[in-house]
Chains A and B, each alone.
Chain A
Amino acid sequence: SQQGEEDPQALSIQEGENATMNCSYKTSINNLQWYRQNSGRGLVHLILIRSNEREKHSGRLRVTLDTSKKSSSLLITASRAADTASYFCATDRGNAGKSTFGDGTTLTVKP
């Protein structure tokens, strides 16, 4: 079964609003990453947070990690239509190209 599970499965918001999506996982991890996938394309890495970090920022992205609850959240502030995509969390227990991906959250940002 998948290590990560995203919530919600789908999210629809207006441009300018904030979007929050959550990821839960089952076993201990070294790090957690978030990826974006535009329709029909490959995944693009957004941000990584290590197991000893609690919060990380990158531009309009804010990621939190709670290892006690085995959960992470991705916040996209001031969303734009171009943010429309699927977002996946991926967990790593090592660093040998063996990430475990969740099923993703599909975000639609309406102009």
Chain B
Amino acid sequence: NAGVTQTPKFQVLKTGQSMTLQCAQDMNHEYMSWYRQDPGMGLRLIHYSVGAGITDQGEVPNGYNVSRSTTEDFPLRLLSAAPSQTSVYFCAAQREGYNEQFFGPGTRLTVL
């Protein structure tokens, strides 16, 4: 069981570039979420999904898109990268009816 996996681990982008951060889970958990963590701060929710085909916005959704075509995968797309999106991004999965979230190892993104 790999749990929650994220790729890439590190990424450097130039302003205006687009990219997709990948997240996959093999636990068959219904809920998945994307958070960003800025230095010295907690996690802020970007987008979340309660099941395949269903997504919704979190606290800081601007500049990001998500889709959930399968239970396993929940990619996060940066449409046009900005320096303000420099952060560490975490994906999490949660089983419906339970409160514990399982986190991936994170993707460290730098936008120049």
Least Cβ–Cβ distance between A76 and chain B, in angstroms: 19
> Nearest CB to that of B108 among chain A residues?
A40
What residues on A are CB-neighbors of B61 within 8 Å? none
A42 within 8 A of B: yes
A-B Cβ contacts below 8 A, count: 71
B residues contacting A by CB (< 8 A) are 4, 31-33, 35, 40-45, 48-50, 58-59, 90, 92-94, 96-106
The secondary structure that dominates the B interface is strand
Contacts A42-B104, A45-B101 hold; do A98 and B45 have CB atoms under 8 A apart?
Answer: yes
B49 touches A101 (CB 8 A): no
The interface stretch among A14-22, A57-65, A77-85, A89-97 is A89-97
In whole angstroms, how far apart are the Cα atoms of A33 and B98 in the complex? 12
What residues on B are CB-neighbors of A42 within 8 Å? 4, 90, 103-106
What residues on A are CB-neighbors of B42 within 8 Å? 2, 4, 88, 101-104
